[in-house]
Every structure is written in C-alpha cells, then in structure tokens.
C-alpha cells in the first residue's frame, strides 16, 4: 500500500478518479439497448424459460417502468436501475467474509472467489440489484459463442452485480498509460452508456469539475434513488423538476 502511494507520488500525484453516472430520465425511451449491451459485455448468463418464470433472470441493469395517471391518459416513465455503487452501501458491512467492499475509486467491488453465498448482501440491497448464480452459467445458443474474454465467468453459488464495467475502466487506464497520457473525460464508456441511442447516460469522474458527468450533477436536476435511505449512490438521475 505504502509502496504504491510513493510510486504514485513519484508519477506526479495522479488523482484517483471518482466514478459516477448521470442518467437523464427525460431522455430515456425505455428501449432496453443498455440491458442487451450489458448482458453481452459482461457475460451475464441466460436463465431459460422455467427459471425466468421463477424470477431467476439476471439483469445487471434493468428498466423500471412507472405509470402516472389512469388509462388512456397515462404517462410512462422509464428508469434504468443498476448497482448504484453507494458510498454508504448497505451490502458491504453485512458480508461475513468481506467479499464486497468499496474501492478507492468509489466502485463497489464484488470478489467472486471470496463469496460463500450467504446472499445477505442481495437481501440488504434496497435496489435489489444483486444477483445470485443459482447454477453454473449457461448461454442459449448462439450466445455462448460471443463471450467477452475480458470478463470472468462467475461460478455457481456466488453473487454478482453491475461493476460499472470495471474491465473497461482498467483497459482505458492501460491504453492511456501506453500512450503516456492521463485519462481523459469520456475515455471510459460502460456498455450501457456506449449503447444508449438517446444518449441519456453519462459516465465519468465526478471529482473532475470539468467532466461531463460533474457538470450534469451540478445542473440542479440531479437526484438519487431512495435518497432518504442515506446510501449515497454514485448513480444520479436527472429529471425535470416538477
């Protein structure tokens, strides 16, 4: 740890990015492109018909629909929900083996190898965005042919969830290092952000005041999901104030 810190100091005090996401609900059309992109990027297995009927599908990101008014005068609002990467995450303290924690960049990290499967974290997540591997992962043909080599396959019996595409963050850092430059705003694009046709999602370093995400957070439209619980999520939802 100390060694790392000195190394960092020698390299010219590299700032630790603080990852955050802003999702503009007024732009989201509920098309679910992000859901598909996430599943294929992150090797999220398919569940099959029977298991899906039981409620055992895995969607690291999902679109929650909220209806306002009575039919036919109805307004639908879509809200993409993934792991909120909380600063005060209820999932973290309850794990008896420390299989989940918040890293220096603000990501809630899940260590698959360490997970023994008490599923306490999944219970204690108010957003219900943690998923359990009921069986060894399987993919319906031909999805088994498109697995992403950058993302590990999770074994049966462990909990998994959205990582903010941690592997893409790592790749972006490696690429920046190789080019001898600093990470620039927009270098990291999680699969959901990348695939959003409405450009409703923005990802970046919120500690950098010039980043797009920081500007959006300061727009006055930003709020958090279940804010009253005090979980301090890193995902912010932008909405027109009523």
Partner 1 sequence: MDAIPTTALTPDSSHASVRADMLGRMRGGSGPYLAGVAVCGVIVAWALFAWGYQIVNGFGSTGVRRPVYWGFYIVNFVFWIGISHAGTLISAILRLTGAEWRKPVTRAAEAITVFCLMIGGLFPLIHISRPWFFYWMLPYPNERLLWPNFRSPLFWDLTAILTYLSGSVIYLYLPLIPDLAELANHSTGAKRRIYRALSLGWTGSDRQWQALERAMKLMAVVILAIAVSVHSVVAYDFSMSVMPTWHNTIFAPYFVVGAIFSGIAALVLVMAALRKMMGLERYLREVHFVNLSKLLLLMSLIWGYFTFSEHLTTWYGNLPSEIRVFQIREHGLYGMLFWTMVACNFVIPFVLLGISKLRSIPTIAVSSAAVLLGMWLERFLIVIPTLSTPPLAAAWGSYAPSWIELSITAGTFAAMVLLYLLFVKAFPIIAIWEYDDGVRAR
Enumerate binding residues for partner 1 (CB under 8 A). 51, 54-56, 62, 64-65, 81, 90, 93-98, 114-120, 122-124, 126-128, 131-136, 156-158, 225-226, 229, 231
Task: Tell the smallest beta-carbon distance from residue 89 to partner 1 (Å).
Answer: 10
d(CA 112, CA 109) in angstroms, rounded, equals: 9
Of 46 and 124, which CB lies nearer to partner 1 in the complex structure? 124
Task: Tell the smallest beta-carbon distance from residue 233 to partner 1 (Å).
Answer: 13
Of 31 and 172, which CB lies nearer to partner 1 in the complex structure? 31
Taking Cα atoms as reference points, which of 91, 82, 89 lies closest to residue 59? 82
Task: Tell the smallest beta-carbon distance from residue 116 to partner 1 (Å).
Answer: 5
d(CA 46, CA 59) in angstroms, rounded, equals: 9
Of 126 and 186, which CB lies nearer to partner 1 in the complex structure? 126
User: What is the tally of helices (H) and strands (E) in the chain?
Assistant: 8, 10
Task: Tell the smallest beta-carbon distance from residue 118 to partner 1 (Å).
Answer: 5
Of 30 and 186, which CB lies nearer to partner 1 in the complex structure? 30
Token output for 153: 């396959």
Task: Tell the smallest beta-carbon distance from residue 23 to partner 1 (Å).
Answer: 15
How many residues are there in the chain? Answer: 242
Token output for 104: 């220096």
Task: Tell the smallest beta-carbon distance from residue 178 to partner 1 (Å).
Answer: 31
d(CA 222, CA 198) in angstroms, rounded, equals: 18
Calculate ∠ Cα 96-101-105, nearest 5°.
175
Of 176 and 229, which CB lies nearer to partner 1 in the complex structure? 229
Token output for 156: 């049966």
Of 8 and 156, which CB lies nearer to partner 1 in the complex structure? 156
Taking Cα atoms as reference points, which of 62, 233, 65 lies closest to residue 161? 62
């Amino acid at each position: 740890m100390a060694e790392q810190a000195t190394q960092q100091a020698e390299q010219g005090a590299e700032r630790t990015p603080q990852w955050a996401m802003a999702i503009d609900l007024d732009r989201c059309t509920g098309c679910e492109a992000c859901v598909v992109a996430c599943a294929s990027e992150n090797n999220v297995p398919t569940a099959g018909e029977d298991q899906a009927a039981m409620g055992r599908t895995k969607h690291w990101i999902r679109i929650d629909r909220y209806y306002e008014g009575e039919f036919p005068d109805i307004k639908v609002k879509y809200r993409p929900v993934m792991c909120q990467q909380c600063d005060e995450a209820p999932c973290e303290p309850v794990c008896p083996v420390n299989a989940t924690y918040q890293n220096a960049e603000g990501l809630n990290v899940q260590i698959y190898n360490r997970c023994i499967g008490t599923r306490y974290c999944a219970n204690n997540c108010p957003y219900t965005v943690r998923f359990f591997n009921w069986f060894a992962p399987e993919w319906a043909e031909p999805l088994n042919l498109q697995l992403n080599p950058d993302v590990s396959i999770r074994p049966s019996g462990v909990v998994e969830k959205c990582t903010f595409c941690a592997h893409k963050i790592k790749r972006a850092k490696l690429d920046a290092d190789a080019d001898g430059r600093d990470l620039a705003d927009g270098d990291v694009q999680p699969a959901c952000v990348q695939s959003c046709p409405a450009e409703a999602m923005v990802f970046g370093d919120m500690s950098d005041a010039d980043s797009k995400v920081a500007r959006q957070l300061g727009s006055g439209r930003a709020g958090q999901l279940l804010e009253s619980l005090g979980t301090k999520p890193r995902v912010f939802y932008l909405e027109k104030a009523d």
